Chains A and B, each alone.
Chain A
Amino acid sequence: METERTEEYLEAIYKRQLKETPVSTSSLAVDLGVSRPAVTDMLRTLENKGLIDYKTSKGAALTRSGEERALAVIRRHRLWERFLTDVLGMKWDKVHEEACRLEHATSPDIEKGLSGILGDIDTCPHGHSIPDEKGNIKPEKTTLISEFRPLQKVRILAVDNEDPRLLRRIEKLGLRPGAVVTVLKRNKDGLLDIEFQKEKIALDNVTASVLTAEPVIETVLPMEEAEIDLGELPPGESAMIKTCGGGRGSLGRCLSLGFTPGSVIKMVENYRRGPVLVKVHDTEVAIGRQLAEKILVVRKEAS
């Protein structure tokens, strides 16, 4: 019982920390649905165990070991959620509560078994990252869908809420993590218009403020696997940068001017032996030929 409460607290503090540090007593009270004095009491206990740093005036922050504990619980929670939806076929709006109970009664062997069955899945059904067994977690992007500009194409990453009713509503709209939508515009009545599978959907305020998303970056479909150096790219054609060569010094310069792997680069001017002119991250950049020959790219499929 004691362990369970400790773990619940650590989990709550961890999640809160993504939004505010240090975490205040009052926000924890809201998150956990308990009174503030109770939270204060528990935080003292946790501090004595060395799991958090706690200052009454400011709030709480996880220590290294506290964070490790929190991530271990979160891992078990999210693995269970995945198991419940993917293996047992439960609805995603029901799994959170079940996982809340199961996470505290999971031995290391069961945890291993779960992750074995699930394979290399790294997010929970709601789109949050599952920490690995060493406690490493992929940072999550926290930009809300409502924050994007009109006409931006975005991919839904996660739902930042466990309310079953809200989850059901989102499921009905088909806006599961991974769905790609285009933000259209914000209406006067506060609704956010989006386009999903060629249909216009108006998202209410609550829904729009729990869906996190990332911009869809134009990806390049390699026409041929073969890499060529930038000097070989004909004018007018685009390519994706694979690697930047050159000594450490020129590598640094390339990187800070936006020649990062995965960036799309468009050849503007390329005449024999002279420097080349390319467009990358929306700016034209001139590069000497020597250097261009050290940048390897994959050509973009001609459309």
Chain B
Amino acid sequence: MENAKGKAITVALAGAPNVGKSTVFNLLTGLSQHVGNWPGKTVEQKTGEFRQGELTMNIVDLPGTYSLTANSAEEQIARDYLVNESPDIVVAVLNAASLERNLYLVAELIELAPRLVIALNMIDVAQQQGIRIDSEALARTLNIPVIPIIARANRGLRELVSQIEHECGTVSGLRDVKHIEYGNEIEGVIDHVAGLLDDGVTAPYPKHWAAMKLLEGDGQINKLVKGRMPAERWPAIESYLRENESAAVTIATLRFEWVGMMMAVAQQKRRIGQVSLTERIDRAATHPILGLLILITVLGAIFWLVFSIGVPIQKFLDVNLIVRAREFIYTLSSMPWWLQGFLADGVLSGAGTVLTFVPILFFFFAAWAFIEDTGYTSRAAFVTDRFMHALGLHGKSCLPLVLGFGCNVPAILGTRIIDSPRARLLTILLTPLVPCTGRMAVVAIIAAAFFGTATVLVSIGIIIFSLLMLVIVGLILNKFVIRGESSALIMEMPLYHVPDLKLIGTVTWQNILAFIKRAGTVILAVSILVWLLSVIPNGNISDSLLADIGKWLEPLGRLMGLNWQMMVALLSSFVAKENTIAALGVILSGGGGDFTQQLKAILSPAAAVAFLVVQVLFIPCVATLSAIRQETGGWRWPAFTLVFQLVLSFSMAILVFQASMLFQSAL
């Protein structure tokens, strides 16, 4: 712990979701934070540093959890961290406005945490709700320091830091915390279970604690012990656990009784009949019809914002930066042709074009983070749960799916909020069917070239078609492909509150950064590869390997009215959806006339519609596939998505084209 420069301590931040833990973390760590994943898990791990004088605090932000029983990956991570890494101190961040709920976690933390300090956050929100908390009385009764803070306004953090320092400075450290009395009966049952276990089978967890978790039906501990105990002795343990199934309920009840005791000491009763602002808003926001209208309005507002501000900026950047830069490169006659091509067609029109989407994504992510921080997204999940359920999804699935309209990649990462593994997988597989901004841009440009005044109608039609396919595919996957029971929704509705702009900034920045990183790596690499294919062997695209591939695919293309150029344009969308336009630009650059005229020369209106269909349903881009691989932990599901969407997109486009041909000949 001691080093030449001073003292370094490890501080773990624990707390339920919606308690402002991230705000506390951001305030303490500022720019020093590092965001990664917990080893072997798709749960975000945030670490950072806080320095003050001689003291360095290494701060670890544990995932938000309501308890420490492994019902979810988050809970498992939080408690494994406490057991394996034994931080010097745990700071429990509690929401003063829902103290009762939050104290349950404290009841569990005192069984595992070495030293504990409570940061009682949002005391201002609590006051607005008419809740008055006596933090001194709470501290006295718990025998744990309680520091009232308002993280949003950066108040109380200094006191929190000095309390942490003080606690870690005291030699014994361990306070005689008021533990929960489970009573002899339960203790007897716990001891009996512990007695059935061999020494060491529960390592690194304490045996007594593990025995209690077995009784509570903790899946992870159960698996661990089952795997380590001799097989012939397990049935006896299992049957004893089954006989004492009610112990889980008793343990939880006793914990809540303990919580009730703390509440009676610390919180003044609210006057009965007082209806909070949250409750009043919720009467509308969670209403099945009104709530849906509100949701549509909110989403409409987000899209309006994105398309009225983000899209023009994107276009501006594309025209003024990418196109100009390309033209400039081609004017440099001293540069060898292959370098010009590499820079202009490989780097700029591939990865460069993708980067121009940053403003669109910025507005989208920022608007979404804003909505999320107000507490509204839980209501959106609630309202959509009944529809999502038909697809085997969760109310919570609606959130990543909406995010998918911006970009599929963060949407797939966003599925982490879904706690049922099955619903999460389904959501991941359906996300690529949500038309992202890249695809919508292509739809808009192609539709504009063909349908004049009907452009908006056609575009909206295609998007609705795509979502319809999402529903149908969801029904099929839910029914036939993915096995298992769908699990029900259960989630806390946080109180509405004024969003924290700093936090929104951080979240948006992190999302954008991740997007830029992908554009700079995966997308850049594939852009260059496609460019290489388009110039090998002799620099002429119509004799290139890419053209060979396109021509080889032409028989398939003809079924939907597409020639080899269109097939190549489609293939290039694999790099990034918006690449279709860039690729068409390159391929058609040989002919005369502008882009629209050339397009009209090679495409019939029926084929144009077929192209739009195949384009929105086509295999996900590289970045999305790599996100799927990352989140599902293997190649199985990305491969499935690849094949499935290939078949789906081609068969739908063929269907549309052939049907319209039939229709035309009938006329």
Contact = CB atoms under 8 A, between A and B. Distances in A.
B69 interface: yes
B633 interface: no
A219 B66 CA distance: 26
A261 interface: yes
Contact of B492 (A152, A284, A288): A284
A152 B491 CA distance: 30
Contacts of B265: 143, 147-149
A256 B67 contact: yes
Contacts of B394: 288
A131 to B, nearest CB: 9
Given A257-B66, A271-B288, A149 B382 contact: no
A271 B491 CA distance: 17
A291 interface: yes
Interface string A104-137: 0000000000000000000000000000000111
B492 A285 contact: yes
B248 A149 contact: no
B490 A253 contact: yes
A77 B140 CA distance: 33
B264 to A, nearest CB: 4
Nearest to A136: B184
A208 interface: no
A258 B184 contact: no
B385 A136 contact: no
A216 B231 CA distance: 48
Contact of B253 (A254, A260, A271): A260
Contacts of A179: none
A50 interface: no
A251 B217 contact: yes
B282 interface: yes
B64 to A, nearest CB: 13
A275 B188 contact: no
A21 B268 CA distance: 32
Interface stretch (A1-9, A85-93, A197-205, A242-250): A242-250
B264 A137 contact: no
Contact of A154 (B176, B264, B288): B264
B286 interface: yes
Contact of B264 (A152, A274, A277): A152
Contact of B71 (A249, A262, A288): A249
Contacts of B141: 143, 147
Contacts of B487: 249-250
Interface in B240-277: 248-249, 252-253, 256, 259-261, 263-269
B137 interface: yes
Interface residues of B, number: 60
A252 B248 contact: yes
B15 to A, nearest CB: 14
B488 interface: yes
A288 B269 CA distance: 30
A58 interface: no
Contacts of B260: 215, 217
Nearest to A260: B253
Interface string B70-84: 010000000000000
Contacts of A260: 249, 252-253, 256
Contacts of A251: 217, 248-249
A149 B268 contact: yes
B101 interface: yes
B286 A252 contact: no
B488 A277 contact: no
B378 A250 contact: no
A256 B104 contact: yes
A269 B219 contact: no
A169 interface: no
Contacts of B264: 143, 148-149, 152, 154, 214-215
Closest 10 CB pairs of A and B: A288-B488, A139-B181, A256-B67, A215-B264, A248-B217, A291-B488, A288-B489, A255-B252, A274-B386, A284-B493
25 contacts: A143-B264, A147-B137, A147-B140, A148-B264, A149-B267, A152-B269, A250-B488, A252-B218, A253-B490, A261-B249, A261-B253, A269-B282, A269-B286, A269-B287, A274-B288, A275-B382, A282-B99, A282-B100, A283-B98, A284-B279, A284-B282, A285-B493, A286-B489, A288-B395, A288-B489
Interface of B: 66-67, 69, 71, 98-101, 104, 134, 137, 140-141, 176, 181-185, 188, 216-219, 248-249, 252-253, 256, 259-261, 263-269, 278-279, 282, 286-288, 378, 381-382, 385-386, 389, 394-395, 487-493
Interface of A: 20-21, 135-139, 141, 143, 147-152, 154, 214-215, 217, 243-244, 246, 248-258, 260-263, 268-269, 271, 273-275, 277, 281-292
Given A141-B261, A250-B488, A286-B385, 17 more contacts: A135-B184, A137-B184, A139-B184, A143-B141, A244-B249, A255-B216, A255-B248, A268-B286, A269-B282, A275-B395, A281-B100, A282-B98, A283-B98, A284-B279, A284-B282, A286-B493, A288-B389
